[in-house]
């Protein structure tokens, strides 16, 4: 317990430097990997299961703070400006940070989480149980551009960096792969799709062309120094089509068109029910 307290303290300090100075202090992952048992932690008033086998995924979560607070702020503002219910789809759910928050929102009717990493998926399911969420389905598979089996790289040092393999020399496991079109063959109405798959974001969207055409979802996708190695925004614009507009998600939860320094981006169809709300969040 003393070690857990020390790690929580360092995580808190890490978060202060990150939020205030945009500086990532070194060593947090090392300390997290020294955790040798599972715990139940509190994150923003909700219970979360900490699976020590993937402890480095919990970075700021272990001190009760979301790893990506800007996404949570954006989602809350989006929901306040929208007068309809939604379905939330989390592609690359990791240990369930977004699910933990969004599943409890009064306007979220159903949540689907896709996570092929077995330890991360297990953590998601346990956190769902701790909070008695009955509107969440976790699917232990990857989403890509084909429904089959694919090679998946397990990053043992940083499990949140695990991804579909693009290199035959990498240490991989065989996982089930599906597509958005396969998983959602019928229209589901207004939906928010979060895609965080370490560079495989274009594959996910290519596998959901019919789904995107029928549902016009709002899409949040990771676009940082890692994903820039695998695709660019012009590729995403080509996949989504001319009716979709892409914006940068800022640290304060608002949107702009400054793409030099990005972490997540938001794509919205001009004919979707989200468009009017998005215009109110654009600065």
The residue written with tokens 């945009």 in the block is 22
Q: Which residue's entry shows tokens 């914006």?
A: 247
Question: Which alpha helices (DSSP H) does the chain contain, by range?
Answer: 2-21, 28-33, 69-80, 97-102, 118-130, 180-183, 201-206, 209-215, 233-240, 275-280
% residues pLDDT > 90 (the chain): 86
The most distant pair of C-alpha atoms in the chain lies apart, rounded to whole Å, by: 55
At 215, list the tokens. 């549902």
Please report the pLDDT score of residue 173 as a whole number. 87
In total, how many domains does the chain have? 2
State whether 103 and 131 are in the same domain. yes
Domain of residue 41, residue span = 2-63
Q: Are residues 135 and 275 in the same domain?
A: yes
Alpha carbon of residue 89 to chain centroid: 9
Query: Tens digits of per-residue pLDDT, 144-158?
Result: 999 999 888 888 888
- CATH number for the domain spanning 178: value is 3.40.50.150
pLDDT score recorded for residue 160: 82
Per-residue pLDDT band at 2 (split at 50, 70, 90): confident
Query: CA geometry: angle at 263 spanning 262 and 267, to 5°?
Result: 80
Q: Do 113 and 180 have their domain in common?
A: yes
Regarding whether 42 and 75 lie in a shared domain, the answer is: no
In this prediction, residue 156 carries a pLDDT of 82
Q: What is the pLDDT of residue 43?
A: 98
Element (DSSP H or E) covering residue 269 = strand 264-269
pLDDT surpassing 80 at residue 167: no
Residues 140 and 16 in one domain: no
C-alpha distance from residue 116 to each of 122, 142, 145 (Å) = 10, 5, 15
- Could you give the CA distance from residue 214 to residue 217 in angstroms, rounded to a whole number? 9
Structure tokens at 117: 């990493």
Closest by alpha carbon to 97, among 132, 129, 133, 71? 71
Q: Mean pLDDT score of the chain, rounded to an integer?
A: 95
Mean predicted confidence (pLDDT) in 235-242: 97
Residue 1 has pLDDT above 90, yes or no: no
pLDDT band at 169 (very low <50, low <70, confident <90, very high): low
Q: In this structure, what token pair is assigned to residue 206?
A: 């290519």
Query: Last residue of some domain: 11, 35, 63?
Result: 63
Give the pLDDT confidence score for residue 157 in this predicted structure: 84
Percent of the chain, pLDDT > 70?
A: 99
Do 78 and 52 have their domain in common? no
Residues 239 and 102 placed together within one structural domain of the fold? yes
Tokens 């190695």, located at residue? 229
Residues 12 and 119 in one domain: no
- Distances in Å between the Cα of 8 and the Cα atoms of 14, 16, 31, 235 are 10, 12, 10, 40
pTM here is: 0.95
Same domain? For 30 and 143 the reply is: no
Residues 95 and 208 grouped into a single domain: yes
Domain boundary at 35, 63, 91, which? 63
Q: What is the mean pLDDT of residues 83-111?
A: 98
Q: Give yes or no: residues 53 and 73 share one domain.
A: no
Q: Are both 78 and 30 inside the same structural domain?
A: no
15-19, 57-61, 184-188, range with the lowest pLDDT: 15-19
């Amino acid at each position: 317990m003393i070690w857990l307290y020390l790690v929580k303290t360092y995580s808190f300090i890490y978060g202060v430097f990150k939020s205030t100075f945009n500086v990532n202090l070194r060593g947090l992952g090392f300390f997290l990997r020294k955790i040798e048992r599972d715990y139940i932690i509190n994150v923003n008033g909700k219970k979360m299961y900490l699976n020590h086998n993937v402890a480095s995924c919990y970075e700021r979560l272990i001190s009760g703070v979301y790893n990506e607070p800007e996404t949570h702020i954006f989602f809350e503002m989006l929901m306040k400006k929208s007068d309809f219910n939604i379905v939330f789809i989390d592609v690359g759910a990791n240990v369930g940070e977004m699910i933990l928050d969004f599943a409890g929102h009064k306007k979220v009717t159903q949540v689907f989480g896709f996570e092929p990493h077995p330890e991360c998926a297990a953590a998601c399911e346990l956190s769902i149980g701790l909070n008695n969420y009955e509107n969440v389905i976790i699917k232990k598979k990857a989403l890509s551009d084909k429904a089959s089996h694919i090679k998946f790289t397990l990053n043992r040092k940083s499990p949140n960096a695990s991804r579909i393999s693009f290199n035959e020399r990498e240490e991989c496991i065989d996982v089930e792969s599906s597509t958005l079109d396969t998983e959602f063959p019928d229209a589901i109405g207004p939906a928010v799709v979060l895609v965080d798959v370490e560079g495989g974001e274009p594959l996910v969207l290519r596998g959901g062309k019919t789904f995107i055409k029928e549902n016009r979802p709002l899409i949040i996708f990771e676009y940082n120094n890692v994903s820039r190695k695998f695709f660019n925004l012009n590729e995403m614009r080509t996949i989504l089509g001319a009716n979709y507009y892409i914006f940068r998600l800022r640290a304060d939860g608002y949107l702009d068109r400054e793409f030099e320094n990005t972490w997540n981006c938001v794509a919205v169809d001009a004919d979707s029910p989200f468009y009017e709300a998005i215009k109110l969040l654009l600065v």
